[in-house]
Amino acid sequence: MFRRSGHKEPFEHAGAVIASDPEMALLMAKECFFRRREGDHLWVVARSDIHSLSDETLLEIAADKSYRFASDYRDVIEKRERALARAREIKGE
Amino acid sequence: MSDSLVSVLTALADDELILGHRHSEWTGFAPHIEEDVAFSSIAQDEIGHAAAYYSIIASVTGGNVDRLAFGREPSEYRNAILCERDNDDWAYSLARHWLYDHADAIRLEGLEGTAHDQLRALVNKMRREERYHLIHADAWMKRVAHGPIEGRTKLIDAITNAYDDATALFEPFELEEDAIKQGWVVVPSDELRRRFVDRIAGILDELGIPMHFHKRADTSAEFVASSSGDLIASDGQNGQVEPAHDGFGGRRGRRSPEFGALWDDMTSMYRAHPGASW
């Protein structure tokens, strides 16, 4: 069962029900997970329609890929200032 | 002039309270956990509707809602006998839930034009909740009707057992003539019963469920062939005949033997602590 908590929010997995078919699952999910205004929309998806990765280790990052992270570029302005200063020094300005 | 209003409201409230109580007996025992929550929620809705009806009565008569719900003698209740029948098995509870909620939809539709402002506002509010009850009941009926033979057979038996009682939901209210004259009630119960019988026969025909009403149907009813060739009950020539069977009389305070245990259970807390505020 995927629930949306507000108009602009993403659907998020929020529980599961056992039901004979999608219509029944929607009816049951409504009662089981929307009793206290928890959201404004609802999806149900059969477990068998969800495809999952067979090998989770594929998600591990083996080598250093720090360049893929924004945080790795935090000091780029400072680096640029240092490089410009060095360039001026070499040119004897 | 308010006597007939109180009479109508008492019948409506008692239907919801007593059926809500019967539904609530499934809490913890429904066929699966999801249905347990769903059916308990429907039970809560019905009891909530009863409370809303009782509070209109209380505002008219100056009475107390708790006393109206739990402080009366069994003979003072005016619910239809259908509502107080034992649950028996899930098939019966489902058949009753389905019959009742279709009857209630017809009844509330009829009450939309009531001259009583508070009641009209309440009817509009309740119809929103009752929409889910109907979807829930219809979804179950469809699946069991089209499912394996054992469940289908149990369902057919259950409908047969509950059907006559269900028509008695439209047994006229006490003082109904005056209620119509005052505008509290717009559509007479006899007319609503005709609509109900038509609607149920139509749905059962669509579901391909044969009707075995002859078991307990009154002698004045006749049977007509539906499009599927099954026999369905017709409510007499003009639909005015009030079938006389043991499901009738609830509106006049007649109670079935099943009511006693329900009343004992339902009112035990109230009786144990007289005057307590909850």
pLDDT score of B1:
58
How is residue B94 written in tokens? Answer: 């489902």
Please indicate whether, in this complex, the C-beta atoms of A19 and B37 are within 8 angstroms of each other. Answer: no
Is B41 within 8 Å of A31 when comparing Cβ atoms?
yes
pLDDT at residue B272 tops 50: yes
CB contact under 8 Å between B143 and A28, yes or no, is no
Distance CA A58, CA A60 (A): 6
Residues of B with CB under 8 A from a CB of A: 32-35, 37-38, 41, 132, 135-136, 139, 143
Q: How many A/B residue pairs have CB atoms within 8 Å? A: 27
Give residue-wise pLDDT tens across range B79-130.
Answer: 999 999 999 999 999 999 999 999 999 999 999 999 999 999 999 999 988 9
How much is the mean pLDDT over chain A? Answer: 93
Looking at residue B220, its pLDDT comes to 43
Is residue B231 pLDDT above 60, yes or no?
A: no
* Domains located in chain B, CATH noted: 3-189+248-272 (1.20.1260.10)
pLDDT score of B244: 60
B255, B74 Cβ separation under 8 angstroms: yes
Chain B CB contacts of A35 below 8 Å? 41
Longest distance between any two alpha carbons in chain B, whole Å: 59
Contact B38 A23 (CB under 8 A): no
DSSP helix/strand/coil, B259: helix
pLDDT of residue B158: 95
% of residues, chain B, pLDDT over 70: 87
Chain B closest-CA separation from residue A74 CA (Å): 51
Instruction: Convert the pLDDT of each residue in B6-48 to its tens digit.
Output: 999 999 999 999 999 999 999 999 999 999 999 999 999 999 9
- For residue B144, the SS3 value is helix
Q: Does the pLDDT value for residue B242 go beyond 80?
A: no
Using a CB-CB distance cutoff of 8 angstroms, which residues of chain B are in contact with residue A17? Answer: 34
| Three-state SS annotation for B88-118 | CCHHHHHHHHHHHHHHHHHHHHHHCCCCCHH
Taking CB atoms and an 8 Å cutoff, what residues of chain B touch A34?
none
Q: Chain A residue with minimal CA distance to B140?
A: A24
The span from the CA of B197 to the CA of B214, in Å, is 15
Segment B39-65 shows an average pLDDT of 96
Nearest 10 degrees: Cα torsion A49, A55, A56, A62: -140
* Contacts for B271 with CB less than 8 Å, ≥ 6 apart: B70
Residue A22: is its pLDDT beyond 90?
A: yes
Cβ neighbours of B128 in A, within 8 Å: none
* The pLDDT of residue B222 is above 60: no
Q: Which residue of B has its CA nearest to A28?
A: B34
Contacts of B165 (CB under 8 A, 6+ apart): B80, B81, B82, B85, B247
d(CA B38, CA A75): 57
DSSP secondary structure of A28-81: HHHHHH-TT---SEEE---GGG----S-GGGGS--S--GGGSGGGGTTHHHHHH
Q: Is the pLDDT of residue B243 over 80?
A: no
How does pLDDT run across A29-43, given as a tens digit for each residue?
999 999 888 999 999
